[in-house]
Amino acid sequence: MCLAIPAMLVELRADERAVVNLGGIRKDVSIELVPEAQVGDYVIVHVGHAIGMIDPEEAERTLALFGEMAEAAAAAGAAA
């Protein structure tokens, strides 16, 4: 299964690179596929590449769902 995660672009770098914020973790990614992305935009990140853009509301909903899933998994692990 492949997973792409919404992340906020926080810094543009040279050579079609950028830094994104993934839940407090800063990661260097390629923005070659989304050259129009600007600081403050949300992009979808898959294996170190921003592969598309996503609107902020959808990004926040998706991140909230990931958070709920992590909490449920942690609770299930604690109950086992």
Average pLDDT on 12-27 reads 95
Domain ranges for the chain, please list them. Answer: 5-79
Number of Cβ within a 10 Å radius of residue 78? 7
Q: Are 23 and 42 in contact (CB under 8 A)?
A: no
More confident of the two residues 58 and 63 = 58
What is the percent of the chain with per-residue pLDDT over 90, rounded to a whole number? 68
The confidence band for 30, taking pLDDT boundaries of 50, 70 and 90, is: very high
Is the pLDDT at 64 greater than 70, yes or no?
Answer: yes
pTM summary value? 0.83
- The CATH fold of domain 5-79: SH3 type barrels. (2.30.30)
Residue 13's identity, in one-letter code, is R
